[in-house]
Structure 1
Amino acid sequence: MLKSSNPKVLFIEPFYGGSHKVLIDTLTACLVDYTLVTLPAKKWHWRSRCGALMLYEQIPFVNSESVLFCSSVLNLTELLGLRPDLQSLKKVVYFHENQLIYPVREIKERDIQYSYNQIITCLSADVVLFNSNFNKVSFLDNLKKIIKILPDCRPKELKSKIEAKCKVLYFPVEYPEISVNDKPSEILHIVWPHRWEFDKGPEDFFKVLFNLKDENIPFQVSILGESFTDNPPIFSTAKEYLKEEIINFGYIDSKKSYYNILSSAHVVVSTAKHEFFGVSMLEAVYCGCYPIAPNALVYPELYPLDCLYSNLEDLYSNLKRLCLNPTLAIEERRKMCLDFDKYSTAAVVSNFVKIINDLVFS
């Protein structure tokens, strides 16, 4: 990648792993000079609550840096209080997700601390970047609901103060160099490439697959994505109940093998309850899968309406239709026309460089 000489950036990332690491590594690769301070990607809740305290002694005193860049995991306001020398820098915060709409049964169950951290971080920043328009809009539109939880002394004009700083910078996707071969049309291959966590909706996904199996509708499935020591129990149940349909089960270490599986599948499904971009879905679609996703969250921003479902009955009907005629999935994917370039690493890096140049020199 061609490096450019730009204002020196101090990158601070309290959760340096996964998509957070990918973003930082992608952005730093385009810069001649930068400073990077990170914490390992573990114990997210502690990083979010105490990241400023954990980091403030590790950050070198400002030398030639002009811009401070951090993710919204960091409470930027606390850090600036602990390190007043950083206040002179232009401050940019990046939202991979926002805590204001994390799914909870009732508003009273929400731990407001995480939302509070993100709100005051925005107030301390000069520019607030979101990885999708949905992420931005959902954050701004839910500020009032969160602030209403305060018993009194609620701040006024909070939305307008933050909105003026907001921009969208899509997450950079490095597309695989892979040729999409002709897919077999005898049996539908479904792929679910998400983290094995509650907010990705595995219960809903497997409920639909169980119903398909109970009706003797043929399909194959690959359950990919990162798993953890404490996985939702439904995965063990599904592994046994769908043992005849499962052809891949678990995280794939090799990127090449992972992309080969994606390119062999007909359909990629999301049942997410909390999604602001969805790299794994976009990668699968790039590899030739037809996307089926909720008509909610970020998905209407990325995919045509025909790909979106309204409820589980709708998802079941869509999958059943394609299971009975896999050729339809192949044909419908070929008809899709998506602008993959605007999410590419090259496009995102170019936009990032422009943002920091405008911030420093305007």
Structure 2
Amino acid sequence: MERNVWFSLGAEQMQSESPRVLLVEPFYGGSHKQLIDLLQENINGCSVFTLPAKKWHWRARTAALYFSQTIPACPTYRVLFSSSVLNLCELVALRPDLAHLKKVLYFHENQLIYPVRKDQDRDFQYGYNQVLSCLVSDVVVFNSQFNMDSFLSSILSFMKKIPDHRPKDLEQLIRPKCVVLNYPVQFPDVSRLLPKHKLVCQQVKHCPDEPPPSCSKEFLSEEENPDQSVSEHRNDQKPVPEEDHMKPLHIVWPHRWEHDKNPELFFSTLLKLKEKQLDFQVSVLGETFTDVPEVFAEARRLLNCHILNWGFLPSKEDYIRVLCQADVVVSTAKHEFFGVAMLEAVHCGCYPLCPKALVYPEIFPAEYLYSTPEQLFKHLQGLCRRPNIARGHIVKVDTSSFTWVSLKQRFETLLASTGP
């Protein structure tokens, strides 16, 4: 059922304080839920109205009308914050008392480039609604530079689908309102779950001094030949405990079981590793939905002897425990606007391999990016042969910059009644 909370305050505040910030979320689940909960817990004077994370298409079409009837009038509101699932244009037209608020629209994704199997399958209305919402917003926030740039640069071509009398200069009207503010990831304390070799590297990573000789800074090289994908050991290779040294490489794929995450590429790469008689283990995690791609059933049969974990783990601790045990995390996504799963895996000490596209170059240095399926195969082939390279590597991604502690001040400014 819907969740209507008149106001939620910080622990130091009295419950009688009047609500100042109106948080509206038509799709209260996943990262959308986590963000609303985080804002409610940390920003004083919030009033929250949500709908369950079901039937996304209907939420995008009809939530504005529902909220227009259920959000009570309140003279103390100063800011309205919502994800771009909401048709904000409809809401403020139906509720003129909300039109004068500072309206902040947050994009977890954008419908102008969200992948569909065929372009004719794309429902024009969803992207059109997002454009309209931007036009009535005061601030338009994107979780990544890629999300913002891809949205703004696609407006013109998207509007060309209108047969005639097309609107003009929409990008120029929207761009001055736009800012990038990364999604705040809530990383758990994983120190008690990390194996010894990961604990040492975590300690070194957070030390401001130069890493001592006991930790490796090795990384994969694209220039090497197919049979030698991993650079030679150097004197700074971290010694790995004997019990870990003998284990095969553990590869994890922690993504939604849908076509836009390109599981076909992931599984075809693993099957090539199997054909080469390379030793590895795999954990395939992530949520499943109604239409699971057929490749998963086939892959489970063909890779059965390599599988450690298969399927969604409803317990967050169990999920994090698998990430802590894994050596390498792989993304094969054809779309990604931010990528919480990859950052969570890196926080758990996994060596990342991502496409050199989408949001990934914003977050991951070039050494973790691959441009072709063959490059992905070569990277994994090298690590299968020498898994200690991944186990001794200090990942050069500062996950702390994506935490609430780092981003809190910017969100507080965003939800202030004045300012950007």
TM-score, normalised with respect to structure 1: 0.94
Q: 1:58-69 residue pairs with structure 2 within 5 A?
A: 58-69=70-81
Q: Which residue of 2 aligns with 1:352?
A: 411
Establish whether residue 42 from structure 1 lines up as the match of residue 54 from structure 2: yes
Distance 1:304 1:272 in 2: 17
Q: Which residue of 2 aligns with 1:215?
A: 276
**Selected match of 1:103 from 115, 128, 136:** 115
Q: Which residue of 2 aligns with 1:255?
A: 316
**Selected match of 2:175 from 163, 172, 175:** 163
Q: Which residue of 1 aligns with 2:153?
A: 141
Change (3 A) 1:223 1:361: closer
Q: Contact 1:28–1:34 (CA<8 Å) still a contact in 2?
A: yes
What percent of counterpart residues are identical?
51
Deviation at 1:229, TM superposition (A): 3.6
Establish whether residue 305 from structure 1 lines up as the match of residue 366 from structure 2: yes
2:104 is paired with a residue of what secondary structure? strand
Deviations 1:110-145 (A, max 9, x none): 221111011000001000011111111111111111
Establish whether residue 294 from structure 1 lines up as the match of residue 355 from structure 2: yes
Q: Contact 2:26–2:50 (CA<8 Å) still a contact in 1?
A: yes
Distance 1:293 1:66 in 2: 41
Change (3 A) 1:94 1:77: same
**Selected match of 2:144 from 120, 123, 132:** 132
Q: Contact 2:251–2:327 (CA<8 Å) still a contact in 1?
A: yes
**Selected match of 2:400 from 335, 338, 341:** 341
Deviations 1:179-233 (A, max 9, x none): 2322623311000001111111111111111121122111100011111243111
Larger radius of gyration: 2
2:188 is paired with a residue of what secondary structure? coil
Moved more, 229-238 or 306-315: 229-238
1:99 is paired with a residue of what secondary structure? coil
Moved more, 228-237 or 44-53: 228-237
Distance 1:88 1:169 in 2: 24
Cα RMSD after superposing both structures: 1.9
Deviation at 1:323, TM superposition (A): 0.8
Deviation at 1:339, TM superposition (A): 2.2
Q: Which residue of 2 aligns with 1:73?
A: 85
Kindly provide the amino acid, as one letter, of the partner of residue 360 in structure 1: T
Distance 1:172 1:342 in 2: 9
Q: Contact 1:34–1:65 (CA<8 Å) still a contact in 2?
A: no
Distance 1:37 1:105 in 2: 33
Kindly provide the amino acid, as one letter, of the partner of residue 341 in structure 1: S
1:360 is paired with a residue of what secondary structure? coil
Distance 1:101 1:16 in 2: 22
Deviations 1:26-45 (A, max 9, x none): 01111221111111100001
Kindly provide the amino acid, as one letter, of the partner of residue 88 in structure 2: L
Distance 1:94 1:176 in 2: 24
Deviation at 1:253, TM superposition (A): 2.1
Distance 1:21 1:104 in 2: 24
Distance 1:61 1:44 in 2: 27
Deviation at 1:3, TM superposition (A): 6.6
Q: Which residue of 2 aligns with 1:226?
A: 287
1:210 is paired with a residue of what secondary structure? helix
Change (3 A) 1:2 1:289: farther
Deviation at 1:104, TM superposition (A): 3.5
Change (3 A) 1:279 1:3: farther
Q: Which residue of 2 aligns with 1:246?
A: 307
Q: How many residues align?
A: 359
Kindly provide the amino acid, as one letter, of the partner of residue 274 in structure 1: H
Q: Which residue of 2 aligns with 1:275?
A: 336
Change (3 A) 1:361 1:277: closer
Gaps of 5+ in 1: none
Query: Segments of 4+ in structure 1 off by > 3 A?
Result: 1-7, 104-109
Moved more, 164-173 or 6-15: 6-15
1:57 is paired with a residue of what secondary structure? helix
Change (3 A) 1:188 1:50: same
TM-score, normalised with respect to structure 2: 0.82
Deviation at 1:266, TM superposition (A): 0.7
Moved more, 281-290 or 205-214: 205-214
Gaps of 5+ in 2: 1-9, 199-243
